[in-house]
Amino acid sequence: MKQKSERISSPYLTDILTAIDRVKEYVSDQDLESFKENKMIIDAVMRNLEVIGEAVSQLPEEVKTKHPEIPWRDIKDFRNIVAHRYWEINLDRIWDIVCNKLDELHEQISTILKQ
């Protein structure tokens, strides 16, 4: 049974890493002001944050329970805001997530995949 969970979760964990890498690539030469002015980059970042949240929502509960240090619920809840209450999005908050949260999440997910 454990092997099945790992097979199920690995593609979702890999999707999270891919989405983070894309976001980091899209904003690599941006500062907050240039980010706010570039609608295509905003849309690309938002889409990948949505992918991260959706992948989290598809992970088996045992993966989430085994790694409580990751704010799974917050990530999933944020995806719901991006998808369903997009008009409430604050670009300063998005920038904060991109600059201050994604690197740590990338490291945590990479660690899980190595186990």
Per-residue model confidence as pLDDT tens digits over 54-110: 999 999 999 999 999 999 999 999 999 988 888 888 999 999 999 999 999 999 999
Instruction: List the one residue out of 39, 106, 52 whose CA is nearest residue 79.
Output: 52
**Tens digits of residue pLDDT in 25-63:** 999 999 999 999 999 999 999 999 999 999 999 999 999
**Local structure of 28: helix, strand or coil:** coil
Structural domains of the chain, count: 1
Q: Which domain holds residue 10?
A: 2-114
Instruction: List the one residue out of 7, 16, 26 whose CA is nearest residue 110.
Output: 16
List, by residue number, the catalytic residues.
Answer: 79, 84
